């Protein structure tokens, strides 16, 4: 198709085909009509999903990217359509999710005139994208799109935005496409320094109480096998961050659980006993470190990270290995000696026993009449043999999901980490289901977050997506209420919700559903949802004061982890 004259709008679609895009999540509008008109002739090659709100489409693109590793692609029109993407773009930026967003824009002669539905998308999104670019001429389209895909998925991934004026969409160009393989001054991945590898290996070989902290960088770098080879050779126990979940099977004998504010007792408490911390593809988020001045003071820090800006940003590294986690771990595994740390691992098991008696048993085998989040989430995991993809919204249930759902396969956990975006779960599950259509996908939300994007039930029904939607309803904004209970003398200031009939709403969209408020009905209701051929909403009434423990209070040391109020 070289040297063929085509409009800029068609060049956008052909560029996406060249980049092997198979799904676009979008919402049309006046400034995008030329692109949508061109898409009409290629709907046999690219599937377009019409969401009910722009926030839904950008979170759906995010969910798709997380389970496939491919960039999520989305379309929105100018003005309010484009600004409705901002939360989802910020979410993707903080969580390092590859995404390419296209927005329509008023014609270039009108730029800067406050024309109808004009907004300065480049100015708005510059701080929350890896790259933002405005196309004002049709001939810019192929190169800009190629560059966008290269930037989005190389190095530390992230979202990019291309804003296209209407006259650029309608202008003509000679069609030719070349994929981008290099950009001057952009170095996505530095070569690994073998001297740093040797220095790190020497420290690891001498360690008595090493602990590996694995983050999403392991998943992004497709380094899951290399991680297993490293820990199995060295005998180093590994703990995962919220976004590192599923990179290592839950039941792996060296997996000691989750880090962070609501993580497991052992990895939090024993962080301050470790003599070496090996951080792989994680950024020492405040939810992991707690009070930084008292974090891991006995440990030498080895940090394997692709993004140099994360080194020494929060926790000072004794040895920093810059580079892709897959390559770094391969080199490090070759250099370290075979070892085991049986006595050290027993310390984690002792902590596990304490946590089970004080927290876990009450969560998954409660004696109180009210249903708990833990028993519901664990049942969903067990009924799908821990094979399902879990998409979580944000709140108490998000932490419960991470604690009690089990994983056998990588890229099986989708959750908003850095931004903590309520309303993320339902639309992200759409992208996850489309990215992995042969796997069971659970969307688990609280009653608050569910209502933020509830309209996407329409998208789910229209596209017949067999998502299993669980709404955990305590008629409260649960996480805020927990803090009010524990730290603000139960002064529940504006956290109580008067909720609608969720099942009636689901049925209004043509989706089957059921509500459960008794333990004896839960098993059958859960099974009915899983067996149902199509989407299904299961609302479960839970205890109002069903809290999430363990908990590291804000500003406290990780060793001050609370097991009970």
3-state secondary structure (DSSP) of residue 553: coil
In the residue annotation, 116 being an active-site residue is answered as yes
Residues whose CB is less than 8 angstroms from the CB of residue 434 and which lie 6 or more positions away in sequence, other chains included: 23, 47, 49, 60, 64, 463, 465
User: How far is 389 from 413, CA to CA, in rounded Å?
Assistant: 6
DSSP code, position 414? E
Q: What is the crossing angle of helices 396-404 and 373-383, to 10°?
A: 40
**Continuous segment of H or E residues that includes residue 277:** strand 276-280
CA distance 237 to 188: 30
Which 8-state DSSP code applies to residue 71? P
What is the spatial order of strands in the sheet that 47-50 belongs to?
A: 47-50, 23-27, 72-76, 99-105, 159-165, 131-135
Catalytic residue among 70, 166, 326, 362: 166
Of the listed 4, 116, 298, 361, which one is catalytic? Answer: 116
Alpha-carbon distance of 446 to 431, in angstroms, equals 19
User: Residues 6 or more apart from 67 whose CB is under 8 A from it?
Assistant: 389, 411, 412, 414, 431, 432, 435, 436
- For residue 281 the two structure tokens come to 């593809």
Tell me the two tokens of residue 291: 């009070």
Report d(CA 395, CA 486) in Å as an integer: 16
Q: What is the spatial distance between Cα 121 and Cα 134, in angstroms, rounded to a whole number? A: 9
- Concerning whether 450 is annotated as a catalytic residue, the answer is no
CB hemisphere CA count around 68 (13 angstroms)? 28
Q: How many CB atoms lie within 10 A of CB 533?
A: 8
> What is the C-alpha to C-alpha distance for residues 454 and 465, in angstroms, rounded to an integer?
15
Catalytic site residue 305?
no
Q: Residue 116, Cα to own-chain centre: how many angstroms? A: 35
354 — alpha (psi -120 to 50), left (phi > 0) or beta? alpha
* CA 407 and chain centroid, separation: 15
Of 436, 479, 526, 529, the active-site residue reads 479
Q: 497 CB contacts (<8 Å, ≥6 apart)?
A: 447, 448, 475, 476, 477
Q: Supply 105's token pair.
A: 């824009």
- Pick the closest to residue 49 from 72, 68, 67, 33 (CA basis): 72
Catalytic residue among 10, 54, 118, 310: 54
Q: Are 405 and 61 in contact (CB under 8 A)?
A: no
From 18, 117, 139, 512, the catalytic residue: 117
For residue 145, give every residue at least 6 positions away whose Cβ sits within 8 Å of its Cβ, in sequence order, or none: 11, 12, 15, 16, 19, 100, 162
Best CA proximity match to 403, nearest among 418, 387, 390, 416: 390
Q: Which active-site residues does the annotation give?
A: 54, 116-117, 166, 479
């Amino acid at each position: 198709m070289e040297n063929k004259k085509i409009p800029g709008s068609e060049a956008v679609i052909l560029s996406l085909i060249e980049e092997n895009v198979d799904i676009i999540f979008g919402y049309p509008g006046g400034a995008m009509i030329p692109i949508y008109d061109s898409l009409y002739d290629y709907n046999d090659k690219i599937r377009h999903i019409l969401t009910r709100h722009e926030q839904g489409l950008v979170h759906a693109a995010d969910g798709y990217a997380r389970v496939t590793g491919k960039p999520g692609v989305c379309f929105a029109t100018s003005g309010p359509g484009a600004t409705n993407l901002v939360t989802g773009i910020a979410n993707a930026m903080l969580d390092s999710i590859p995404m390419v967003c296209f927005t329509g824009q008023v014609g270039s002669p009108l730029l800067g005139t406050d024309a109808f539905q004009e907004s300065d998308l480049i100015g708005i999104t510059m701080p929350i994208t890896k790259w933002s670019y405005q196309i004002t001429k049709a001939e810019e389209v192929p190169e800009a799109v190629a560059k966008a895909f290269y930037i989005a998925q190389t190095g530390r991934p992230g979202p990019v935005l291309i804003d296209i004026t209407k006259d650029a969409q309608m202008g003509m160009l000679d069609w030719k496409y070349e994929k981008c393989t290099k950009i001057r001054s952009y170095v996505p991945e530095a070569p690994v320094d073998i001297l740093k590898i040797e220095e790190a290996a020497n420290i690891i070989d001498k360690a008595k109480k090493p602990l590996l902290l694995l983050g999403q960088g392991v998943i992004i770098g497709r380094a899951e096998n290399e991680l297993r080879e490293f820990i199995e050779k060295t005998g180093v126990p590994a703990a995962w961050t919220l976004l590192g979940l599923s990179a290592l099977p839950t039941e792996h004998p060296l997996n000691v659980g989750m880090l962070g504010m609501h993580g497991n007792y052992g990895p939090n408490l024993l962080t301050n006993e470790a003599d070496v911390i090996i951080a792989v593809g994680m950024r020492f988020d405040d939810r992991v470190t707690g009070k930084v001045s008292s974090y891991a003071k006995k440990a030498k820090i080895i940090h394997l990270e692709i993004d140099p800006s994360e080194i020494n940003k929060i926790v000072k590294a004794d040895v920093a290995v810059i580079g892709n986690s897959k390559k770094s771990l391969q080199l490090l595994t070759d250099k370290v000696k075979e070892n085991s740390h049986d006595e050290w691992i027993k310390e984690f098991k002792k902590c596990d026993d304490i946590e089970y008696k004080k927290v876990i048993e009450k969560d998954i085998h409660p004696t109180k009449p009210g249903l708990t989040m833990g028993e519901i989430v664990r049942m969903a995991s067990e009924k799908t043999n821990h094979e399902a993809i879990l998409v979580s919204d944000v709140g108490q249930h998000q932490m419960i999901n991470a604690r009690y759902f089990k994983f056998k396969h990588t890229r099986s956990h989708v959750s908003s980490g850095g931004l903590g975006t309520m309303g993320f779960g339902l639309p992200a599950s759409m992208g996850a289901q489309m990215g992995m259509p042969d796997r069971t996908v659970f969307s688990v939300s609280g009653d608050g977050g569910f209502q933020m994007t509830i309209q996407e039930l329409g998208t789910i029904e229209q596209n017949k997506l067999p998502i299993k939607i669980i709404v955990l309803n305590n008629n409260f904004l649960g996480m805020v209420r927990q803090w009010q209970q524990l730290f603000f003398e139960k002064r529940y200031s504006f956290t109580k919700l008067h909720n609608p009939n969720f099942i009636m709403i689901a049925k209004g969209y043509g989706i089957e559903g059921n509500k459960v408020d008794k333990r004896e009905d839960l098993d059958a209701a859960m099974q009915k949802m899983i067996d149902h051929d199509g989407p299904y909403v299961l609302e479960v009434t839970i205890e109002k004061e069903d809290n999430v423990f363990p908990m590291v209070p804000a500003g406290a040391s990780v060793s001050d982890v609370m097991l009970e109020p």
